[in-house]
Amino acid sequence: MREVTKPVSRRRGFRLATAAAAVSLMSGVLMTGAAGPGAVASGAASKYNVVLIPGLTTDPFYITMGLGAKQEAAKLGVNLIWKGATTWNKSLQIPIVSATLATHPSALLIAPTDDVALFKPMDAYVKAGIPVIAVDTTLKDTSILTAAISSDNYQGGETAADAIARLAHDKGEVAVINVEKGVSTTDLRQAGFLAEMKKYPNMKVVATEYDNDSLTTAESQARALILAHPGLVGIFGTNLYSAEGAAKGVDAVGDKGKVFVAGYDAEPAEVTLLKQGVINILVIQNPAEEGRLAVLDAYNYLTGHKSAIQKSVLLKNVVATTATANNPAVAKYYYKTSL
Q: Whose Cβ is closer to ligand T6T: residue 196's or residue 267's?
A: 267
Judge contact between 315 and 290, C-beta under 8 A: yes
What minimum distance in Å lies between the beta carbon of 242 and ligand T6T?
8
What minimum distance in Å lies between the beta carbon of 328 and ligand T6T?
23
Q: Whose Cβ is closer to ligand T6T: residue 71's or residue 239's?
A: 239
d(C-alpha 246, C-alpha 278), whole Å: 10
d(C-alpha 242, C-alpha 215), whole Å: 6
Q: Whose Cβ is closer to ligand T6T: residue 78's or residue 282's?
A: 282
Q: Whose Cβ is closer to ligand T6T: residue 15's or residue 140's?
A: 140
Q: Do the bridges between strand 318-321 and strand 107-110 make them parallel or antiparallel, or are there none, so unpaired?
A: unpaired
Which residue of this chain has its Cβ atom nearest to ligand T6T in the complex?
Answer: 240
C-alpha distances out from residue 182 to 91, 112, 138, 173, Å? 14, 10, 10, 26
What minimum distance in Å lies between the beta carbon of 67 and ligand T6T?
14
d(C-alpha 49, C-alpha 54), whole Å: 16
- Per DSSP, helices labelled H in 20-152 are 60-76, 90-101, 119-127
d(C-alpha 53, C-alpha 125), whole Å: 13
Q: Whose Cβ is closer to ligand T6T: residue 144's or residue 315's?
A: 315
C-alpha distances out from residue 168 to 164, 224, 233, 256, 339, Å? 6, 20, 6, 13, 39
C-alpha distances out from residue 321 to 273, 282, 285, Å? 11, 6, 14
DSSP code for 30: B
Site residues for ligand T6T per CB under 6 A:
55, 59, 61-62, 136-137, 183, 185-186, 239-241, 264-265, 285
Residue 37 neighbours by CB under 8 Å, 6+ apart: 75
What minimum distance in Å lies between the beta carbon of 133 and ligand T6T?
15
What minimum distance in Å lies between the beta carbon of 137 and ligand T6T?
5
Q: Whose Cβ is closer to ligand T6T: residue 285's or residue 303's?
A: 285
What minimum distance in Å lies between the beta carbon of 125 and ligand T6T?
20
Q: Whose Cβ is closer to ligand T6T: residue 81's or residue 283's?
A: 283
What minimum distance in Å lies between the beta carbon of 10 and ligand T6T?
20
Start-to-end C-alpha separation, the chain: 35
d(C-alpha 307, C-alpha 315), whole Å: 20
Q: Whose Cβ is closer to ligand T6T: residue 100's or residue 137's?
A: 137
What minimum distance in Å lies between the beta carbon of 293 and ligand T6T?
15
